[in-house]
Amino acid sequence: MSKNTSFTKRLCRIGIITALYVALTYAFMPFAFGPFQIRPAEALCILPLFFPEAVPALFIGCALSNIASPYAFYDVTFGSLATLVAGVATYFMGRLFKRDWVRISLGGLFPVLVNAFVIPLVIVFLCGGGDAFTGVAVAYFSYVGSIFLTESVWVYALGTPLYFGIKRLKKR
């Protein structure tokens, strides 16, 4: 395969992953933002285990999706950076480990943990999501729990079948 063909494939893959992330997020728009996120696009966070170009694709897709967020500026900035950090860590887990269950377990852990701890910072501290009654710490940790739960569902429940589907396609 020539360098131009390889570059073209990677560029196309970036476009497809970005478009899928945005389309899946916008399809669930009313529920895609906030402390309990219905965002099936997060299943795509498993893709850096296979493709290094998935890292910038997820970053761009997240940034474009977060434009519609009620926390727009902060979510575009910090939410997208969280996705970038998680994507890079997931990519390195894919390079470091070869066993499927280890790659999925550890690779998926980064999007779950990074988003679970960063997104509540945006909601609570930057956008005033806590109130005087519950307190900021209680609000933050309740959001950490809810985002941890929802992110785990998307990354592991949808990401695992996606992982094995791509692995099967790559063997062809």
Structure confidence by residue, pLDDT tens digits, 90-105: 999 999 999 999 999 9
Task: Work out the average pLDDT over 43-70.
Answer: 96
Band (pLDDT 50/70/90 cuts) for residue 121 is confident
pLDDT score of 72: 84
pLDDT score of 131: 61
The model carries a pTM of 0.91
Of the two residues 17 and 137, the one the predictor is more confident about is: 17
Can you say how many angstroms the Cα of residue 36 is from the centroid of all Cα atoms in its chain? 14
Q: Residues with Cβ < 8 Å from 83, sequence gap 6 or more?
A: 45, 58, 59, 62, 111, 114, 115
Percent above pLDDT 90 for the chain? 72
Q: Is 119 helix (H, G, I), strand (E, B) or coil?
A: helix
Cα separations in angstroms, 167 against 38, 87, 161, 163: 26, 18, 10, 6
Type of residue numbered 172: R
Task: Please give the structure tokens belonging to residue 25.
Answer: 């997020």
Is pLDDT at 164 greater than 90 in this prediction?
yes
Task: Work out the average pLDDT over 124-138.
Answer: 70
Which of 57, 62, 68, 43 is closest to 118 using CA atoms? 62
Is pLDDT at 133 greater than 60 in this prediction?
no
Band (pLDDT 50/70/90 cuts) for residue 134 is low
Helices (H), the chain: 3-27, 54-66, 72-74, 80-96, 100-120, 136-152, 159-171
Q: Of the given ranges (4-8, 35-39, 91-95, 142-146), which has the lowest mean pLDDT? A: 35-39
